[in-house]
Amino acid sequence: MEEWVSAFLVHLQNKNFSPHTVKSYRADLHEFLLFFKQRKQDDLRHFTSANIRSFLAALQTKNDPARNTVLRKIASLRSFAAFLLTQGKLERNPFKLLPAPKREKILPKFLSEQETDRLLETAANSKHFAARDKALFELMYSSGLRRSEVTGLNIKDVDYFNGIVKVFGKGAKERLVPVTDAALDALKIYLACRKNPQPDDALFLNKNGKRLTGDGLAYIFKNTAIASHLARKVTPHSLRHSFATHLLNNGCDLRSLQEMLGHKSLSATQVYTHVSLEKLKSVYEHAHPKNKE
């Protein structure tokens, strides 16, 4: 089974899945392999509905993971099974008899506009990489890019004349996203500090002059949040959530937001309407005279 897991991961890379996604699939499937090796059942004929149930039961007994973590592991195994079916290595789909549990709805965590301003101001005053970090944070807040999308950008992907950036999202799907003048100005200043930047060069570099990685980006966000004295954990996705929530709160329509975020379906974007409704309820409760009695 192990060689087919390796083949599946190569298949994902060839399909241009993000490194972060491939890393998650690898971790989930290796955990699955370890479980069956301990039971001395590491052949594809043991990849059955009953054994998948046993794995999930053991997983929950061992460390009681969050519901959505379990769902992600199920999704990894389901994708692996689909790959094996296309390769003719399974006679039947082991997930056909397994019910698909519903994902737990979790409202995205976002920063207020004031917190976002503080984060951007701190990035602009970074001790060693002020020009880069200002450009990085301004671009991400103005466009709502995913972590893998921003680290995958090249210099030529920024269109300064039209004020847009060309992004390669999930499944290597290309989309055009508008960005603010503030972000474009910050990018010009950052690139002016670079030695002989070329169109095909990475847009954002790390301290060693190499392309900034997803882990490197997360590290920058962690340190910038600490320096900003924000009480909450801040990740690159926090800024994406903030971008979406702030746009909706200021009148952006769902379809336009869906396009900018690169969501395949509108339902993925609709989660932000719940966040906006929570804010609306809060304003209502503080403003309605009957709530003050």
Of the residues 25, 141, 190, 272, only one is catalytic, namely: 272
Of the residues 11, 20, 89, 237, only one is catalytic, namely: 237
Task: Kindly give, in sequence order, each residue whose CB lies less than 8 Å from that of residue 281, ignoring residues fewer than 6 positions away.
Answer: none
Distance CA(105)–CA(100), nearest Å, equals 15
Of the residues 73, 118, 246, 263, only one is catalytic, namely: 263
Active site residue 237: yes
Of the residues 73, 118, 134, 240, only one is catalytic, namely: 240
Active site residue 92: no
Of the residues 11, 46, 170, 211, only one is catalytic, namely: 170
Amino acid at 189: I
Query: Taking a C-beta distance cutoff of 8 angstroms, is the pair 118, 224 a contact?
Result: no
> 208-217 contacts: CB < 8 A, separation 24 or more?
211/151, 212/136, 212/151, 213/151, 214/19, 214/20, 214/147, 214/148, 214/151, 216/151, 217/136, 217/147, 217/150, 217/151
Active site residue 146: yes
- Nearest Cα neighbor of 275 from 237, 243, 236, 249 is 249
Active site residue 170: yes
Of the residues 146, 147, 241, 246, only one is catalytic, namely: 146
Active site residue 272: yes
Q: Could you give the residue numbers annotated as active site?
A: 146, 170, 237, 240, 263, 272
